Amino acid sequence: MFRGLLIDKQDGQQTASVQQLSESSLPEGEVTVRVAWSTLNYKDALAITGRSPVVRRFPMVPGIDFAGTVEASADPAFAIGDPVVLNGWGVGEVHWGGLAERARVPGKWLIPLQSPFTLRQAMGIGTAGYTAALCVLALERHGVTPDQGPVVVTGAAGGVGSVAVAMLSKLGYEVAAVTGRPQEADFLSALGARQIIDRAELSKPGKPLDKERWAGAVDVAGGQLLANVCAAMRYRGVVTACGLAAGMSWPASVAPFILRGVTLAGIDSVMAPVDERLQAWRRLAQDLDHDLLERLIREIDLDDAIGVAADLLEGHVRGRVVVRVDAP
């Protein structure tokens, strides 16, 4: 038996509770992992609270991330005792995820823990930080360099945004941080943001083309905010879009794309191939200040996850929430 957070649904009513689970109830997979640390992401919070139909199979252990050590393996790529990390692949949605002391998954979903990170630090980064790294790599791939102008990051005090701010500033970019929480200005400045922008400035319907402001963007919001970011991009600017915190709709014009040559690059972290995942994690090891990483981390126990999930959706959580699952 092992402890885990289980979401179930009966007669249309969803419940979430921490309880004892049987190892025989674990899903199929070649590798069984003793989970030491997991995280609480926006998607996890939606799943736990039931505010969005993230979970597509019940009962479900949520948690789109986990880090731990291999306990049993039928995959020759992994041996007992190997430290491993998982991000995405539908865990916590259609396959039991990381908010439990044990997980069983296909070996192809795992990557080795990258040096010099500890298991805890890997979850301090988690899918949010790994997604931020994918965004940075996409900006570079499309030719955005620090000398071309500022890069704007929306949702800057959240998980993706905070890591993106820290990485971009270390790489020499001038970062403009967008947040709806002005009380986080000092936190964002400490991460390297040179300008703090009130989210309200970009949340109302704007012009199809606005004054050119930014050479690049990392957007976690979607909706009207993304439309306004696109409208204010400089000529040949690049927007990386990886979230929908402000909605799935996109009330935008084609004007930025056909008149300024703006590129909108979609970033998918869930099904990204292993080589891209490893590239992102290696860049995190290289370009993320490990001292700053500790400023991003809030540590909670598994029993706290349900309450913190609601706080996260209300915008009361900054940085990264790390969940102690079965850590020594």
Q: Which domain holds residue 237?
A: 126-266
Are both 259 and 130 inside the same structural domain?
Answer: yes
pTM: 0.90
pLDDT, tens digit, 9 for 90 and up, residues 136-152: 999 999 999 999 999 99
Are both 13 and 86 inside the same structural domain?
Answer: yes
Are both 93 and 176 inside the same structural domain?
Answer: no
Distance (Å, whole) CA 166 – CA 319: 11
Cα torsion angle, 216, 221, 225, 228, sign: positive
Distance (Å, whole) CA 280 – CA 3: 31
User: Within 10 Å of residue 268's Cβ, how many Cβ atoms?
Assistant: 11
What is the identity of the amino acid at 88?
Answer: G
pLDDT, tens digit, 9 for 90 and up, residues 240-263: 999 988 888 889 999 999 999 999
Are both 203 and 248 inside the same structural domain?
Answer: yes
pLDDT at 104 over 90: yes
pLDDT grade for 12, boundaries at 50, 70 and 90: confident
Asked if the structure places residue 184 within a domain, the reply is yes
Are both 168 and 242 inside the same structural domain?
Answer: yes
DSSP, residue by residue, 93-111: TTB--SSBSEEEE-GGG-E
Are both 102 and 7 inside the same structural domain?
Answer: yes
pLDDT of residue 328: 65
Q: Is 204 exposed, middle or buried (0-12, 13-18, 19+ CB in 10 A)?
A: exposed
Asked if the structure places residue 280 within a domain, the reply is no
